[in-house]
Every structure is written in C-alpha cells, then in structure tokens.
Amino acid sequence: MVSLMRGDESRTGSAMRAGTRRRLGLWARIVVASMTIGAVYGALAAIATGGASPLVGALVGLIQGAVVSSVVGGVEAFAQPTWPLRVLERAPFLVTVAVKALIYGSVIVLVVGGELGVRLVGVRPVQGLLDSPLAPLSIAMSFALTFAFIFLLQVSRIVGGRTLRDVVLGRYHRPRVEDRFFLFVDIAGSTSIAERLGPDAVHRFLGHVFRVASAPIDDHRGEVYQYVGDEIVVTWTADEGRRGAAALRCFFAMERALAGAARDFQRDFRHVPVVRGALHAGRVVSGEVGGTRRAIVFHGDVMNTAARLEQASRELNRRFVVSADALERLPPVDGLGLEDLGPQRLRGRDAPVRVFGAAAA
C-alpha cells in the first residue's frame, strides 16, 4: 500500500475552509446582486421624484440593498440547522417561502421604511417611518425581490442549483458528450437496518444520512444526480472533479460528516451509518429528457461501470474503490492510501477494470 501522510486535523480544517468559502461565495453573490438592483432603483427613483441627484439616489439604494441582503443572505448562507429551521424547511413549500418572506419583511420595513440610506447619506431631513411617498413602493419592490429570491433558492434546493440553471438556460436541450466523474455511495448493511427499524423509521434514517452528506457534497462542488434507495449518485464535470481532487476527497468528507453526527444517529436510531463507495470517470452523453417534468440525464457505460464498482467494493471488502480511469484524471492527492487490487471482472462487462482500494491515511 502506498501512503502519503497528513493529519486528520489538516483534512478537517481543509473541509471547513471549503464549506466557509462556499457559504461566503453565496452570501457575496446575494449582496452584490442586491446592491446592484438597489443602486439602479435608487437612481431611477431620484430621477422620477427630482428630489436628489441620480448618483445620490443610487448611493441610498446601494446602502439599503447591502444592509437588507447582508441580513437575508447571512441567514440563508450561515444559519445552523437548529430545530426551528429544520421544522420550517420540512413544512410545505409555499409555507416555507411565505414564512421566510414575512420574517425578512420586518428587516425590509425597518431598513427601507426607516430610510436608513437617507440617514447615512444625509441628503435631506429624515421623515417618519413610511412617511416618504416612495416608501410603500420601495418596500413592495423589496418584498417582491426577496420573495423571488427565496422561491428560487428553495426550488434550487429541491432540484439542485446547477440543474435549475442548466434547465433555465437550455444547456442540455441537445445531447452533448462530456467527460465526468461519478461517485456512487451507499449505506453498508442497509437491508438489516431496514428490517430492524421499519419503513417509517428507515425513511427518517435515510433522510438524515442524506442531509448530513449534502454539506460535504456542496463543499466539494458535486451535483447530486439522484437518490436510489439507500444510494447517492454524485457527479462532477472533469474540470470540477479534478480541481483539488474534489471527486475523490468528497467521499472521505462524507465519512467524517457522518462520524461527526454519530451521537445523533445513535440516540435517534441506535445505529451509526457506515458508507461504502466507488469512483469512476469517463465520457457520457448528457441531455434533457421529459415533457411536463424535465430532467437532465446521463447515458453511457461509465454509469453502469460505476454501479458495478460499488457492488464490487463489497466483494473486495473495501470501503472505497477507485478505477484507474478516475485516478488518471486526478492530480496527486496527499493523505491518501492506495492499494492496487489489479484488474477486476465486473458483471456485465467483457473487459476487466483496474481497481484501487482507497483509504484516508
């Protein structure tokens, strides 16, 4: 076995930095977009009323947009999944959107109705809350934009941000050939777990596993392609999966996240999940299918091989296996132990696939 050593503390710190960068990136995009919209609206409002120069109006709108979006974006990006938030996220879709819009609305009323931007810029005497003739319009516009933002954010959490973007932009209207990584992950011993817990509890168990695993997937810029029973299928384009060996490191990050939640699993289900996975890469045909419900799907031998590799990991008694095709597309990885398991015959394939066992050192 070949091993390049680095401590668990370094890997955990790297994962934390990746998560922080992802959240900061989301927050920054929200703030920048809101500031831009606020500045444009402020300039147009100043022109319409003639009360201030467009530059001053833009500055007022920029300030108010920055404050509102900093609060809203900060909550959406950094709020921890406490009990009230979990209950809200599990409520019916429109209830979640409406409650969030009402909560954020109080911030909008205080900032826009209270003319925070005017107070800071000092262009004219500050009026009472909602006394300004433009205050109702400004608040209504802020409410509409906030509602639209929350609506799109909640939809993206259901179908996936990249999938929503690709469907809206029509990126896959025509089939295209792509080089991709596919990571298949399932829960070891899931059949016996299901027998012991029963259908209702096992559904909650799997839901909790998938929620815990979602943060490492997001941190490593993976896309959840689908959930199949107790299995998660994650994919990356070749460039995204290669960057920082994200497609490989994601599995170990999922293991660490589940280990960190072991106490909760033990308390609620009397079982701590153990995952098994396989990583493969190659060329697939990607395209949009469906009518009233559309989805982006991938076709090709790569998908079948990745699924067979995941099944083979059980026979090889390895928690995580990686194909040579995947390793060839990745940069050197520190903190990884690799064991050459040689060419393996996989069910449904004539040609053997060279396989490596992979473990965090």
Residue 307: which residues within 8 A CB-CB, separation 6 or more?
Answer: 184, 278
How far apart CA 124 and CA 118 sit, in angstroms, is: 7
Q: pLDDT at position 80, please? A: 66
Q: pLDDT at position 133, please? A: 63
Residue 172: which residues within 8 A CB-CB, separation 6 or more?
Answer: 166, 286, 287, 288, 296
Helix ranges (DSSP H) in the chain: 8-49, 54-78, 83-90, 93-108, 116-121, 135-159, 161-169, 190-197, 199-219, 238-242, 246-260, 262-269, 301-315, 324-328
How far apart CA 284 and CA 280 sit, in angstroms, is: 12
Decide: 110 and 103 in contact? Cβ < 8 Å: no
How far apart CA 204 and CA 22 sit, in angstroms, is: 27
Decide: 105 and 147 in contact? Cβ < 8 Å: no
How far apart CA 185 and CA 233 sit, in angstroms, is: 6
Q: What is the pLDDT along the chain (361 residues), one digit of tens a residue?
A: 443 333 444 444 454 566 677 778 888 888 998 899 888 988 888 887 776 788 888 888 898 889 988 888 888 777 766 667 777 777 777 888 888 888 888 888 788 777 777 778 776 554 444 455 666 777 787 778 778 888 887 777 776 777 777 777 777 778 889 999 999 999 988 888 888 888 889 999 999 999 899 889 988 989 999 898 889 999 999 999 999 899 999 999 999 999 999 999 999 998 899 999 999 999 999 888 877 777 788 888 998 999 999 989 988 899 999 999 999 999 988 778 889 999 988 887 778 899 999 987 6
**354: closest CA among 310, 309, 311?**
309
Class of residue 238 by CB neighbours under 10 A (exposed 0-12, middle 13-18, buried 19+):
middle
Phi, psi of 224 (to 5 degrees): -75, 110
Domains of the chain: 2-159 (no CATH), 162-360 (3.30.70.1230)
